[in-house]
Amino acid sequence: MNSKIFDFEETRLQKEILKRRAKRVLIQLPEGLKTRGSHIAVAAEKAGATAIISADPCYGACDLALSDAELLGADLIIHYGHSETTLQSRVPTVCLEAKAKVDVYAATKAALPLLEGWKKIGLVTTVQHIHTISKIKKLLRKSEKAVVIGKGGGLTKYVGQVIGCDYSAAKSISNRVESFLFFGGGRFHAIGVSLATAKPTIVADPFEKRAYSINKDFQKVLKQRWASIHDASKSKKFGILIGLKSGQNRFNQAFEMKKKLEKNKKRVTLLSIKEITPEVIMQFPDLEAFVNTACPRISIDNASKFVKPILTINEVPVMLGELKWDNLCKGGWF
Q: How many residues bind ligand SF4 (CB under 6 A)?
A: 10
If the CB atoms of residues 107 and 214 are measured against ligand SF4, the closer one turns out to be: 214
Binding to ligand SF4 (CB under 6 A): which residues in 175-234?
A: none
Which residue, 221, 129, 124, 120, is CA-closest to 177?
A: 120
If the CB atoms of residues 266 and 297 are measured against ligand SF4, the closer one turns out to be: 297
Site string for ligand SF4, 126-165 (x = CB under 6 A): -------------------------------------xxx
Q: If you write DSSP's letter for every residue of 191-212 in order, what string do you get?
A: HHHHHHH---EEEEETTTTEEE
248 binds ligand SF4 (CB under 6 A): yes
Is residue 229 a contact partner of residue 250, using CB atoms and an 8 Å limit? no
Which residue, 159, 236, 161, 230, is CA-closest to 192?
A: 161
Distance of alpha carbon 13 from the chain centroid: 24
117: how many CB neighbours lie within 10 A of its CB? 8
If the CB atoms of residues 62 and 257 are measured against ligand SF4, the closer one turns out to be: 62
If the CB atoms of residues 61 and 74 are measured against ligand SF4, the closer one turns out to be: 61
If the CB atoms of residues 50 and 89 are measured against ligand SF4, the closer one turns out to be: 89
Task: Please give the residue whose beta carbon sits closest to ligand SF4 in the complex.
Answer: 164
Site string for ligand SF4, 56-75 (x = CB under 6 A): ---xx-xx------------
Q: What is the dihedral of CA 126, 68, 54, 89, to 10 degrees?
A: 30
Which residue, 27, 65, 90, 26, is CA-closest to 248?
A: 65
Report angle CA 206, 209, 215 to the nearest 5 degrees. Answer: 85
Binding to ligand SF4 (CB under 6 A): which residues in 165-184?
A: 165
**List of residues contacting ligand SF4 (CB under 6 A):** 59-60, 62-63, 163-165, 248, 295, 297
